Structure 1
Amino acid sequence: MAHFLEYFELTIINQDNQLQKQQAFEWGLDFADALHHASYKVCADAASFDDKKFARRATRMGLNPVVVVPQ
């Protein structure tokens, strides 16, 4: 993901979350999940139906907010 930042044609819409997105991606979240999770920073928690990847990885990584899977 860091190499994307080197392109002058690329505009980062929400630069405040850039470090959080990059760290989550480097720690093992896929690109889309890292972007989504960074957008949740104002939430108390988040819900996802992707138990096998996103929710488990975010939990294992200790990311905040916590990603829960509805029962």
Structure 2
Amino acid sequence: MVTEQRTISYMGVNIPAPVLPIELHVLPDFTGRVVVHFEKGRAICDRRLHESEHVATLDGFLELARMAGYKVRNEK
């Protein structure tokens, strides 16, 4: 797979964006979503998401639940 090198601007100078080399455990013709877990800049595992699976923050999940009509209490 060939990708274009992106650049970022730092103090008015364009520099190449850092690239983390990772190997994903999917077939070469895979199309879909993958969650990757990084520790200290290294990919330690990856997991393919199935069509029925979704990823959200807790706040995002609660907002979605409210939009669906659920009553969500704030307990602190």
Same fold (TM over 0.5): no
TM-score range normalised by the length of the shorter chain: under 0.3
- Name whichever structure is richer in strand by fraction: 2
Instruction: Tell me: higher relative CO, structure 1 or 2? Use CA pairs within 8 A at least 6 residues apart.
Output: 1
- Structure number, greater radius of gyration: 2
**TM-score when scaled to structure 2?**
0.21
**TM-score when scaled to structure 1?**
0.22
